[in-house]
Amino acid sequence: MRTIYLSILFIAFSILLQAQNKDFLYTNVKIHVGTGLIIENGAVGIKDGKIAVVSENGDALKKDYKTVIDGKGQELYPTFIAPNTRLGLEEVEAVRSMRDYREVGHFNPNVRSLIAYNTDSKVTPTIRTNGILLTQVVPEGGRISGQSSILYTEADNWEDATLLADDGIHLRWPNRFHYSGWWAQPGPTKNNKNYDRDLQAIKVYMDAAQAYYKKDVVETKNIKFEAMKGLFEKNKRLFVHVDDARGIMEAVRLLKPYGVDVVIQGGAESWQITKFLKEYKIPVILSNVHSLPKHTDSDIDQPFKTPNILHENGVKFAFSMEGSWNVRNLMFQAGQAIAYGLPKETAVKALTLQTAEILGISQRVGSIEVGKDATFIVSKGDALDMRTSIVTDAYIAGKKVDLSDKQKVLYEKYKEKYELKD
C-alpha cells in the first residue's frame, strides 16, 4: 500500500516536472539579456526548450503558461560559459591516473578532448552550482595540443554533453622568454634562443596542412592533417595560447595568411596592442583576471584593468580561468574587472554572448533572446559578486539542472551532525 502510494506520488511529481520542463514562464525577474541590455522587471517564456518570448510585461503572458515562476528579487542570466578548462579531464590535479589532458608529442591536432570528458566527475557539479553550464574543454601540451569541444557541465555521457564537437585546435605559441623560479623567489628570465626556430616549425606545419587540404585526391591519409582541415574550411577555430604582445602580433601575422579564424587565448599583454587586434579583428579570451602583474614594474592592478582597456578600444574579448576546480570563480573575474572600470552589463556580455560568439555557439546560447536555447541561470543576487552570488536555479535547453554537488551533500551531513540551523 505504502509502496503504491509512493509510486503514485512519484509519477505525479514526474508529470509535474515534465510539464515544467516543457513550457514555463519566469516573471518578475531582473533579466541580464547578455547583449548589454537589462530588463529590470521582465519575463521569459520557455517552450520546447527554447526561449519563446522575452517581455517587460509578464502579467500579459501568464495566461499562455501552466507553470509560472515568480522570480521576485531574482536575477536571470544566460549561462556563463567557461572557455579553456580542464573540466572532466582532470579529477585530482596531483594524481597521475586522474590527469587526462596532456598527450605526448609536439603536433597532435588529431587528439580530441571530448571522448575523455568525464561526466561523472565530482568537480564539475561544483562549477555548475555557480551558474556555469557550458565549458570549452581543452587539451594541453606540445605545440599543437589537440582539439577542444564545447560541453555541458551536466550530462550522463560525453555524447549527450556535446554542444559543439571539435570546435577548435589549440596552438601553444612559443615563449619569447623563459621565466624561472616562482613568485616567492623569482629566478632569472632568459631569452628563448629557439624562438625563431619554433616559429618556423609552426609555419612549416601550417604549410603542409594547407597543402594537404588543397589535395584533390588523398592517397595516403594523414589523420593529423585531416584534423587540421576544419581550420581551412572555417568550421574550426585556431586558438593561439599566447600572452606577450610581440608574440600575439607575430602569431596573427603568421597565421592570418592561411585564412584561418584566429582567437588569442591568454592575452595578458593584449592591452598594449589593441589597435592591432582591432585592425585584424582578432578576439581575445583573457586568462585569469585574478593574476599577478607580469612584471614587478607593471601597474599593480594591470590584470584587473585589462578587460576594460580591451572594451574601450573595441577589441572583442571573453573571460576564462584555466584549470578545473577553480573555474567556479569565473564570473568573479568579470566582477573584478567591473571594479576597475568595465561597465557591468558589458562584463555580463563578455561572460555570455561575447564568449558564445568567440566560440561559435551564439546561434544556440549566450543571450536571453527569442529562438535561443533556454540555457540560463537564476541567482538570488548579483551573480558577479561573491558577496551576493547564490545561484538557485539553472536550465539547459529548458530542462532543470541539478545544482547539488558533493560539497553541498557533505555540508548538509555535518550540519545535521552538529544540529546546526541555517
Partner 1 sequence: MTLNKPILLLLFWSWAAISLAQQTFPKNGVYDQRDGHYAFTNATIQVSPTQQLKKASLLIKKGKVVAVGTNIDIPNDAIQIDLAGKFIYPSFIDLHTAYGMPKPKAAGTRPKQQPQMVSNKKGAYSWNEALKSETRADELFTVNKAKAKEWRNLGFGTVLSHHRDGIARGTSSLVLLGEEREHEMIINNQVAAHYSFGKGTSTQNYPSSRMGAIALLRQTHYDAQWYKANPDDREYNISLEKWLAIESLPQIFEVGNRLDMLRAAKVGKEFGVTYIFRGRGDEYLRLDEIKQTGSAIILPVNFPKPYDVSDPYTTQEVSLTQMKHWELAPTNPAKLAKAGIKFALTTDYLKDKKTFWTQVKQAYKFGLSEEDILKALTTTPAQLIGADKELGTLEQGKIANFIITSHNILADKVTIYHNWVNGKPYALKDINTIDIRGKYELTLEGKKHELEVNGSLLTPDIHLKDPNQKDKKKKGTKLKYTYANGTIAFTIIPKKDTSKKAKTQAIYRLSGNVTAKAWSGNATKANGDWATWSAKRTGDVEIKEPKLPKLDSTVMGKVVYPFAPYGVEKDQLPTAKTVIIQNTTVWTGEKQGKLTNTDVLIQDGKITKIGKKLKAKGATLIDGTNKHLTAGIIDEHSHIAINYGVNEGTQASSAEVRIGDVINSEDVNLYRQLAGGVTMAQLLHGSANPIGGQAALIKFRWGQAPEQMKYEGADGFIKFALGENVKQSNWGDNNRHRFPQTRMGVEQVYEDYFTRAREYEKLRKEKGDKIRRDLELDAVLEILNKKRFITCHSYVQSEITMLMRMAERHGFRINTFTHILEGYKIADKMAKHGAGGSTFSDWWAYKAEVMDAIPYNPKLLNSMNVVIAINSDDAEMGRRLNQEAAKGVKYGGMSEEDAWNMVTLNPAKLLHVDDKVGSIKVGKDADVVLWSDNPLSVYARAEKTFVDGICRFDVEEDKKLRKALQAERSRLIQKMLNKKAAGVKTQPPVHTHKHHYHCGDIENNNFIDYNID
Distance of CA 234 to the CA centre of its chain: 20
Of these, 12, 19, 218, 292, which contacts partner 1 (CB under 8 A)?
292
CA distance 414 to 422: 12
- Return the residue matching grid coordinates 584555466: 322
CA distance 78 to 282: 24
Binding segment (CB under 8 A) for partner 1, from list 39-47, 140-148, 208-216, 384-392: 384-392
Of these, 306, 336, 346, 355, which contacts partner 1 (CB under 8 A)?
336
Query: Which is nearer to partner 1, 12 or 390 (by Cβ)?
Result: 390
- Reduce the DSSP state of residue 308 to 3 states and report it: helix
What is the smallest separation between the CB atom of 84 and partner 1, expressed in angstroms?
18
293 scored as a contact of partner 1 (CB under 8 A): yes
SS3 for 62-121 is HHHCCCEEECCCCEEEECEEEEEECCCCECCCCCHHHECCECCCCECCCCECHHHCCCCC
What is the smallest separation between the CB atom of 318 and partner 1, expressed in angstroms?
18
SS3 for 76-90 is EEECEEEEEECCCCE
What is the smallest separation between the CB atom of 195 and partner 1, expressed in angstroms?
12
Query: Which is nearer to partner 1, 10 or 177 (by Cβ)?
Result: 177
384 scored as a contact of partner 1 (CB under 8 A): yes
Residues in contact with partner 1, counted by CB under 8 A, come to a total of: 62
Q: Give yes or no for a contact between 123 and 82, defined as CB atoms under 8 angstroms apart.
A: no
CA distance 182 to 290: 17
What is the smallest separation between the CB atom of 404 and partner 1, expressed in angstroms?
13
Using CA atoms, how far residue 247 sits from 14, 198, 291, in Å, is 55, 12, 20
- Reduce the DSSP state of residue 330 to 3 states and report it: helix
328 scored as a contact of partner 1 (CB under 8 A): yes
Binding segment (CB under 8 A) for partner 1, from list 45-53, 109-117, 178-186, 311-319: 178-186
Residue 127 is placed in which grid cell? 562549477
390 scored as a contact of partner 1 (CB under 8 A): yes
Binding segment (CB under 8 A) for partner 1, from list 64-72, 89-97, 166-174, 309-317: 89-97
329 scored as a contact of partner 1 (CB under 8 A): yes
Of these, 140, 167, 244, 322, which contacts partner 1 (CB under 8 A)?
244
CA distance 316 to 319: 11
What is the smallest separation between the CB atom of 164 and partner 1, expressed in angstroms?
26
294 scored as a contact of partner 1 (CB under 8 A): yes
Binding segment (CB under 8 A) for partner 1, from list 67-75, 194-202, 225-233, 318-326: 318-326
Query: Are β-strands 376-379 and 391-396 bridged in parallel, bridged antiparallel, or unpaired?
Result: antiparallel
Q: Comparing C-alpha atoms, which of 328, 307, 300 is closest to residue 386?
A: 328
Q: Catalog residues that contact partner 1 under the rule CB under 8 A.
A: 91-95, 122-123, 176-177, 181, 183-191, 244-246, 269, 272, 290-297, 299-301, 324-326, 328-329, 332, 335-336, 338-340, 384-390, 407-408, 410-411, 414-415, 418, 420, 422
